[in-house]
Structure 1
Amino acid sequence: MTQISDTRLPHDAIPPTAAGEHPKIVGVLGLVMMAGLSSGPSFAAESYEKTYAADEPIEELLVTGRDQKRTISTLPGKVEDIPQVITTIDQQTLTNQGVTTLEGALRNVPGVTTDLGEGGVLNGDQFFIRGLSAKNDIFTDGLRDFGVFVRDSFNYEQVEVLKGSSSTTLGRGVTGGGINTSSKTPHDNSDLNVSVAAGTANYLRATADWNQKITDKLAFRLNVMVHENKVARRDSVKSSRWGIAPSLKADLGEYTSLTLTYFHQEDDRLPDYGVGFFNNSPITEYGVPLSNFYGYDTDTDESNVDTFTARLDHQFSDNVSFTSNSKVGAYDRLFIQTINSCSTGGNCVGIDNPATAADATILTRSSPYQQKTWGVQSVSSLLVTAPLGGHKNEFLVGTDLSYQSNERKRFGFDDANRGRIAKNILNPSHGSGPALGAAYRKEDTTARDTSFFFHDQFWVSDVVSLVVGGRYNFYKVDQDRTDFVTAYNLNNNPPCDGVLGSSCLTRYASDTEFFNPKASLIWEPAENQHYYISYATSSTPPGVTVSNGTALSASTQDLKPEENETFELGAKLGLFDNRMLMQASLFKTRKDNAKETDPQTGDVIASGYKQNVTGFEIGVSGNATDHLTVSANYTYLDSVIDEAIRSGAVLPDIEGNRTPYTPEHAASVYITYDFAGVGIDGLQLGGGGVYQSDVMLNRDNSQSLDGYVTFDGFVAYQIEGYRLAVNVNNLTDKAYFAQIHSSRVTPAAGRTIIATLSASF
């Protein structure tokens, strides 16, 4: 996944100081500064105070580092210097594997699982990292992604996954880790790359990436995508989307740059809620075909996403730089889905008996909604790299301000069954679903987040440094819930005293303050060796899931934020002349949910469970030889529930159980071989596999899924500016479940073959 650069930097890559001096550039740091992708320069400890006269010749520096382009301005430094595991999936990996979505990219990261989600709540990109929910922890260019949708990868430069508590870096939440996608932005070359692809399961896709250098100080880039597909081994499920992402980069003087990015994506897909459980096993274990779809052809997930981002970088001097990164986003969504369940009313009875299976039924229901979300965020940071007491020191300080609004309308069905319809399990009908009734509930939620953060790295000696940091948050959520008495809810605990046609308003609010510190001790005995021990915390306040609709309730609005902490011992080593990066870590994360006493009932109420995650990770990525690129990662997770309290009652049978959605063992391997110079020039072969052990689906540990191994591969041939590639996903046509939940699981796509023709001009 990590691509190795081999770039020569001219001696004037860094602008001269007022005194006409040049700071010494060491390793990949000059490349980082040239690209403007970190908040400012940093310098090796042994050369911190050394300068050169303006007329003194300096040799070009050969860079063979492992540094990755990153857009998280609140995380200074290089990947190998940061005291936590960061997995990077770069552009070449995305291309070789034929990745088209964020979910597809994250298959490269062991310890990340995908949640199917609740009906009527969230469905789209939902992930768990190290067994902890990360559904609110997806970022683009270091800024929070406010909406919920299926993210296409057409505008990704790369994907970064930060492991461990990261509230100090990214803000509220981010307990198990955070997911950041870096957008494609203008560069110094003028080029055009186009691709068309076709494959099995009605797969069609076309993309274009055009970069134009307009002047020496102005560049423009445009990425576009159209895509549609069905899903191998799944009936009816399909997706159709398109997107466009123009960006402009301008150098405003010698030391200032401005990058403007617009992103638009429209998606019309049929949501797949998989298959339910019978006797704690997926119904497919009782002879139900994996292809069975229990929704309707009229189900839909229509989303429209528009975001605009502006990033300003200014270099005050060689050791002072400023970054301001701001984003506004609007997300519209219409969601009509069908959920299937065996748990209500004796449904699915008889499926385990061949004599009665043909008559067995499964109950279906829906919780449709229409939603409008918008948000704005601005992160500003100042980085100062100046000696402190004669020692090298890097100090970062900044602010993070955001506002988010979500308006959701929930719809019901006015028929006598309230939209609940039984379908034959073995031969379900599709067609048109029941007609929507009037909106029975409206939820208006707003959230304001103001935070101040700092990060300081102080070099005690040339090889030992201390990192301290923290973030103070002020987080306020307000929610107005308006219930309408309609035919849908008249006979089901009707609100407003059951007066048909009336409405009633309930208001909730939460106002919290919290501080998250971090501290690390780093030892770097050599340029390619980095060892660290670190401590970091995170906080998840009530109402953090604004786009979830029901962000607050009477039982959660007064809770204190969840408090989580991570201890980590790790190493990062440069291998094969620094062409490959190895990361290894031992870690322990404690999730401690806040508990309060209800003043009305005296009951203890809690927002969740105490959870302990102890684990080990090791991974390598980069070039083993000039021709062989390797990415291999393994994660071990021992995740248990330490304490369980529900409605004031202790649940001893749950304590000590495994945490849901957390595989104990997970691994991924992908190898690419380039035959240039040793065989057929232009030929590439690649392939790999993903392993995941069994997972529990509920806290009772009564439902589980077996582990699986899948394989993918590709062959590509490039001649001049043309490249033809054939990808085969799920080579062995393995039957397994790609998305999981406590009451339903979604079968993964069967074997899929895709041919892609690309051209570069």
Structure 2
Amino acid sequence: MAHIRSRKHSKPVHLLALLAASVPAAGMAQQTTTLPTVTVKEAPEVPYKADKSANEKMTAPLVDTPKTIQIIKKEVLEEQGAVTLMEALRNTPGITMQMGENGNTSAGDTFQLRGFSLQQNTFVDGIRDLGAVTRDTFNLEQVEIVKGAAGAETGRGAASGFINLISKQAHLGDESSASGTVGTASRKRATVDLNKQLSETSAFRLNAMVQDSGVDGRDYVENKGYGVGLSYVTGLGTPTRVHLFSQHLRQDNVPDGGIPAIGYAGYTTAIGPKVRRENFYGSVNDREKVDADMFTVKVEHDLGERTTIRNTTRYGRTTMDRTLTGVNTGNTGISTAGPQSAWTVNRSRQRVDQENSILANQTSVNTAFNTGGVQHSLAAGVELLHEKQSSFDHGTATAPAANLYNPNPFETMGNFGGRTGGITGGTTNTISVYAFDDAKLNDRWSINGGARIDVYKLNTDNVTAAGVRTLLEDSRSLVSWSVGSVYKPAENGSVYVSYATSATPPGTSNFQLNTSTTNQANSTLDPQKTDTVELGTKWELLNKRLNVAAAVFRTENDGQTSQDAVTGQTFQYGKTRVQGLELSAVGQITNFWQITAGLAKTSTKALSQRSRNATTGVVTVTDGVRWSPDLTATVWSSYQLDKLTLGLGARYTSEQKRVVTVGGTGNVPNIPSSWVADAMVAYQLTDKVSLRLNVYNLFDKEYLMALNNGGGRLALGLPRSAALTANVKF
């Protein structure tokens, strides 16, 4: 179990000591030799702390990398019982969750960082991940969050950063574990992690998960599915290594459309009390079926001690088949005719039938060399990428209005029927070349930088049910780069300044180009440009057991569409500016006291953004960015007392604005500030068996977790809940 830590030396240390004490004495019977005393010190074990990114493009240690990077290791996820990516990301400040448009709810992981969406900026082992899926943590070694414009690392997008999920891989040595979890809301989950050494140079690993759970505070909502991660590696410990790994996820959920916002502060459409938080306004026949598969082959070869070449090929495919019935609470959404017990709320049905696929090939080289007294760590490569998305039409289906305070999920709903032949689709093809260099000028100074060129082509291919086809195309080259200077006032610390860029071409969020002159996806528009300037410092304290960092940053995204107040003509002079301060601390305070904490204080503004109604001439000015809190903070800490481990954490999010237009009104205007506390108690029964109890929302705070863009529908955070997990090693 993650939080029970051995202080013993590893087997290699014992073998080294034994070898030093038993140097062959054959042939030396007549001579006595006294060997010098050798003291072997084991490096301190720091479960929360990472020293280096798993991303091969980042060649320097984290303390010497001039940008904000947070790594959430599996030990933290296990202690917290975090099973989804969104739960894992609670450990980093600045990330918020979205709900979707009026009458709809976004599928899969939908969140934003520092005012910009991350939905298309999630990667698995350095390769872009597609598909509307709620990602699970069962096959993750760690989660890496890189903040600030990151086009040089990822290509298109990444205006505020990206997330890189690192998969579990087979390794030498036998190591196996299993866990079973039961909890409130009929939570049931089991995982297994089996690593088997097959020979001196090869190993196999199996990670698997199965779950069948309800959702605390919600009727009828279910999260059900299973996952398998497979990894085989040969050539371990040799110059040539071959990795074969895959991941397969199946989900069969009952999705949640949220509840009406009536009764919450600012809701003006109807006057009445709040509905029960447990009310389910969908249908028992609603479903969310996801099949997600990815297959990867990676070959590594060492050309000497300082140079490694790699080739990685991946194919991934995700399908989503979802029917969701949600409340529609616009101006006429709630009917207050008759007694309150007869009030109704309109509902709408949404069908998502979507396929995403990706084929990627990366060839890269990492090498180290000296030129004129300068030590270089170089990473360079070429990436070929083909991405495709297809959404299939099913027409429309009706849903009767629901009783506002006593909805009936067994009512008969309209049927979407089969596919109509209409398809909304798009593909992107990208050829990329990149290079990064960490140049150490001397013991004090280094320069870290890189650049990437993407030759990019997007094709939108839409077909209506009547067979009318629309083809749109956008081809261009994108250039992104970053540079940073690092000064080390001491061996364990650094001070840095950096500058980074990214480019977001039209239509990249959903593979859809548009012919409207006012639409940001119009292919005649220039890519949005994002620049980030960052000044920071990083230190390894307490014998390098604790990482602390502080950074001030400013990110500006330029090239957003805006309209002239008089003529209505569209120009690209709209901007979003985000600036602020971020603090973090990760590692050990003592051998038994772990901590991970972060705080982000930001200011997010929209500049020169206005739209003009072509009919009325009314001009709307936008001066803010939705769902961008000024202050977010998170802390998780655990302390070991012999066989007992105690954990406590808290998260704070300040107010998130929904209304960001000058003079804008209507329905719930914002998500109020909130804080939530969680706790954990674990006990090591034997060397192989441990128990862990997690309690979430310890003080049973009611808080808004997400609000739709119209302000009439919301999702509440989970009430107080608990989960008991048994962990077994064998």
Q: Does the pair score TM above 0.5?
A: yes
Structure-to-structure mapping, 1:136-285, within 5 angstroms: 136-251=120-235, 254-277=238-261, 280-281=266-267
Match of 1:693 in 2: 654
Distance (whole Å) between structure 1 residues aligned to residue 606 and residue 548 of structure 2: 31
Aligned residue for 1:746, secondary structure, equals strand
Aligned residue for 1:411, secondary structure, equals coil
2:583 is aligned with 1:622:
no
State the 1:457 CA deviation: 2.0
State the 1:325 CA deviation: 2.5
Counterpart code for 1:435: N
Counterpart code for 2:610: I
* Residue of 284, 299, 302 corresponding to 1:315: 302
Superimposed CA distance per residue, residues 471-528 of structure 1 (whole angstroms, 9 cap, x where no aligned partner): 11111111111112xxxxxxxxxxxxxxxxx331111211121111111110112221
Counterpart code for 1:436: F
Change (3 A) 1:757 1:651: farther
Distance (whole Å) between structure 1 residues aligned to residue 427 and residue 199 of structure 2: 43
Report if aligned partners of 1:2, 1:622 keep a CA contact under 8 Å in 2.
no
Match of 1:478 in 2: 459
Report if aligned partners of 1:4, 1:580 keep a CA contact under 8 Å in 2.
no
Report if aligned partners of 2:612, 2:619 keep a CA contact under 8 Å in 1.
no
State the 1:385 CA deviation: 1.1
2:326 is aligned with 1:347:
no
Distance (whole Å) between structure 1 residues aligned to residue 632 and residue 703 of structure 2: 15
Distance (whole Å) between structure 2 residues aligned to residue 529 and residue 284 of structure 1: 58
Distance (whole Å) between structure 2 residues aligned to residue 360 and residue 591 of structure 1: 45
Report if aligned partners of 1:120, 1:368 keep a CA contact under 8 Å in 2.
no
Distance (whole Å) between structure 2 residues aligned to residue 120 and residue 321 of structure 1: 48
Match of 1:443 in 2: 424
Change (3 A) 1:335 1:517: same
Report if aligned partners of 1:451, 1:474 keep a CA contact under 8 Å in 2.
yes
2:371 is aligned with 1:388:
yes
Structure-to-structure mapping, 1:227-626, within 5 angstroms: 227-251=211-235, 254-277=238-261, 280-281=266-267, 286-344=273-331, 346-350=332-336, 356-413=339-396, 419-431=398-410, 432-440=412-420, 441-484=422-465, 502-545=466-509, 548=510, 550=512, 552=514, 554=516, 555=519, 556-595=522-561, 603-604=569-570, 609-626=574-591
Match of 2:698 in 1: 731
Change (3 A) 1:151 1:285: farther
Match of 2:727 in 1: 758
Report if aligned partners of 1:381, 1:397 keep a CA contact under 8 Å in 2.
yes
Distance (whole Å) between structure 2 residues aligned to residue 319 and residue 112 of structure 1: 38
Distance (whole Å) between structure 1 residues aligned to residue 159 and residue 602 of structure 2: 15
Report if aligned partners of 2:259, 2:714 keep a CA contact under 8 Å in 1.
yes
State the 1:74 CA deviation: 2.3
State the 1:218 CA deviation: 0.3
Change (3 A) 1:69 1:717: farther
Change (3 A) 1:173 1:675: same
Change (3 A) 1:206 1:551: farther
Change (3 A) 1:551 1:100: farther
Counterpart code for 2:357: W
Distance (whole Å) between structure 1 residues aligned to residue 309 and residue 601 of structure 2: 39
Change (3 A) 1:285 1:721: farther
Distance (whole Å) between structure 1 residues aligned to residue 570 and residue 613 of structure 2: 4
| Larger CA deviation: 435-444 vs 706-715 | 435-444
Distance (whole Å) between structure 2 residues aligned to residue 187 and residue 201 of structure 1: 37
State the 1:757 CA deviation: 0.8
2:60 is aligned with 1:74:
no
Change (3 A) 1:285 1:357: closer
Distance (whole Å) between structure 2 residues aligned to residue 339 and residue 539 of structure 1: 35
Superimposed CA distance per residue, residues 702-753 of structure 1 (whole angstroms, 9 cap, x where no aligned partner): 4201111111111111121001111111112221222343133211221111
Change (3 A) 1:471 1:8: farther
Superimposed CA distance per residue, residues 129-166 of structure 1 (whole angstroms, 9 cap, x where no aligned partner): 11211110111111111222011111011111111111
Change (3 A) 1:734 1:532: same
State the 1:460 CA deviation: 2.6
Distance (whole Å) between structure 2 residues aligned to residue 327 and residue 366 of structure 1: 35
State the 1:308 CA deviation: 0.7
Distance (whole Å) between structure 2 residues aligned to residue 665 and residue 594 of structure 1: 25
* Residue of 682, 696, 704 corresponding to 2:670: 704
Report if aligned partners of 1:233, 1:291 keep a CA contact under 8 Å in 2.
yes
Distance (whole Å) between structure 1 residues aligned to residue 434 and residue 568 of structure 2: 37
Distance (whole Å) between structure 2 residues aligned to residue 58 and residue 186 of structure 1: 34
Aligned residue for 1:93, secondary structure, equals helix
Aligned residue for 1:392, secondary structure, equals strand
Superimposed CA distance per residue, residues 343-380 of structure 1 (whole angstroms, 9 cap, x where no aligned partner): 15x222549xxx85333322211231211211111222
Aligned residue for 1:687, secondary structure, equals strand
Change (3 A) 1:60 1:524: farther
Counterpart code for 1:662: S
* Residue of 81, 89, 97 corresponding to 2:72: 89
Structure-to-structure mapping, 1:649-660, within 5 angstroms: 654-655=621-622, 657-660=623-626
Report if aligned partners of 1:407, 1:549 keep a CA contact under 8 Å in 2.
no
- Give unpaired runs (5+ residues) of structure 2: 14-36
Percent of matched pairs sharing the same residue = 27
Superimposed CA distance per residue, residues 531-570 of structure 1 (whole angstroms, 9 cap, x where no aligned partner): 110000111112213xx47465554232221111111001
Distance (whole Å) between structure 2 residues aligned to residue 217 and residue 726 of structure 1: 39
- Structure 1 consecutive aligned stretches of length 4 or more whose deviation exceeds 6 Å: 1-11, 57-61, 282-285, 648-652
Aligned residue for 1:107, secondary structure, equals helix
Counterpart code for 2:687: E
